Amino acid sequence: MLDNPALATAVEDDRLIRETGTDARVAAIVIPILRPMGFRLVRVRLSGQNGMTLQIMAERDDGTITVQDCEEISRAISPTLDVEDPIEQAYHLEVSSPGIDRPLVRKVDFEAAIGHAAKIETSVMVADKKRFRGKITAVDADSFTLERDLASYGDEPQVRVPFDALADARLILTDSLIREALAKDNREKKAARRGDADDAADDAFEGDEIEFEEDGDGDEEPDTDTDADGNTKTGS
């Protein structure tokens, strides 16, 4: 059992938006498991979908995650969840990526989202409203600026939202967001292929060196799924 789950969350959890209730108890359990594995928690959500589903949304520090990563996380957290037993009824565990229209839970998420549209909810009134929709245009140490889609008469076209007022935030799936996600995926695949090619070339070169030295006479003789929103996930 965790000696102090609340303390573990306070120490490890650097998110701007956090869970409450049962979701918070689950977050406190999984965060200390994810961090040593090289992953960070994005969101925990317990829902009534497919009976009862516990969704753990995670990613690496660079924002990537693979199907194999999701499987690894599921295997790692399942035994601890069984022991801690934060959920009284039976549930289906689903580990997934944040997806293209991802939740924005850290400052770096907002910085990466500059130029893209988002839906924002605040816990307190900001500029006489608690719900906003628009393009993120700037981020500073304590807040971000949103250019509203449809500003009401008398409203300023831009609103500054303090991070400590956030209740929920996520990107809106747009053509430009999809294009950027596809371009990033292509760059990562090309980089991976270049890395594999370089490794193969290094191996071949090293092998030639060994063979040349040994010759000595001067003669030189290598259950998964992705949903419609771009989420990589695995379930157990």
Q: Dump pLDDT digits (tens) for 14-51.
A: 999 999 999 999 999 999 999 999 999 999 999 987 68
Give the Cα separation of 126 and 129 in Å (integer).
5
3-state secondary structure of 11: helix
Between the CA of residue 126 and those of 13, 15, 107, 165, 195, what are the distances in Å?
25, 20, 19, 8, 48
| Global pTM exceeds 0.85 | no
Q: Which of 102, 104, 105 is nearest to 173 (CA)?
A: 102
Per-residue pLDDT for 209 more than 60?
Answer: no
pLDDT of residue 187: 87
pLDDT of residue 161: 98
Of 107-111, 146-150, 175-179, 181-185, minimum mean pLDDT range = 181-185
pLDDT of residue 172: 97
Q: Can you read off the two tokens belonging to residue 1? A: 């059992």
Bridge partners of 158, per DSSP, are 147
Q: What is the pLDDT of residues 57-110, one digit of tens each?
A: 999 999 999 999 999 999 999 999 999 999 989 999 999 999 999 999 999 999
Q: Are 163 and 17 in contact (CB under 8 A)?
A: no
